[in-house]
Amino acid sequence: MSGAFDAATGDGPPLPEADAEQRSREVRTALEGLLQIRRLTHAQDGDPAARPADWELRQPVRAVALALEAARQPPSAVAADGTRVATGYRVTAGERPGTAVVEWLGPPATGAAHDAEAALTACAAALERLGWDALLYRGPRRHRYLEVEAPAAPGR
C-alpha cells in the first residue's frame, strides 16, 4: 500500500490479504490519531473520546468507515466491473449533513440480506463505543440499514 490512508467504505476493491498485518497497523495508527484529535478538541467536555470531533462531522463517511474497520468489521468490496465480490459493511453519505448510512451488502445469493440485522447491530455497537448514534431502520423491500450521526454536543 502506498499513499495516504483511506478507511475501507465497502465500495472499493477487496483489501489484499497479503497486506492484512500492515493494514491492521495503518488502521490502528489512524484510529489513535483520531482519538488524539478528540482529546485535543474536547479537552473540557469530560471524556474527550466519547463523541466525534468536528473533523469527523465534516467527513462522516471516512470517520464511520474508520470506526468500523478499527472494530474489525469486514468491509464489502466491488470488482473493477462494479459487481459486489465481498460481504460486509458499506458506508455512504446520509441525506443530512454530518450523517452517514451503513448497509450490509454482499454478492448475489450469499445471504447478506438475511444476516443484515445481526451484522448491523454489531456495527451499531462498535460505532456507539466511539460516540456515534446509530439507529437501525428497515427501508423498502425490508432492506435494513443504519443511520449514523453524532450526538448533540454538550451545551447545544
Q: What is the pLDDT of residues 7-21, one digit of tens each?
A: 999 999 998 887 889
Q: How far apart are CA 6 and CA 63, in angstroms?
A: 10
Percentage of residues of the chain with pLDDT beyond 70? 92
Cell of 74: 469486514
What's the grid cell of residue 148?
449514523
The answer, yes or no, to whether residue 72 has pLDDT greater than 90, is yes
Place of cell 473520546: 49
Neighbours of 106 (CB within 10 A): 22
Q: Are 82 and 17 in contact (CB under 8 A)?
A: no
Q: At residue 44, does pLDDT exceed 60? A: yes
Contact 9, 92 (CB under 8 A): yes
Assessment of whether the complete model's pTM goes beyond 0.85? yes
Helix (H) and strand (E) counts in the chain: 4, 6
How confident is the model at residue 4, as a pLDDT?
78
pLDDT band with cut points at 50, 70 and 90 for residue 48: low
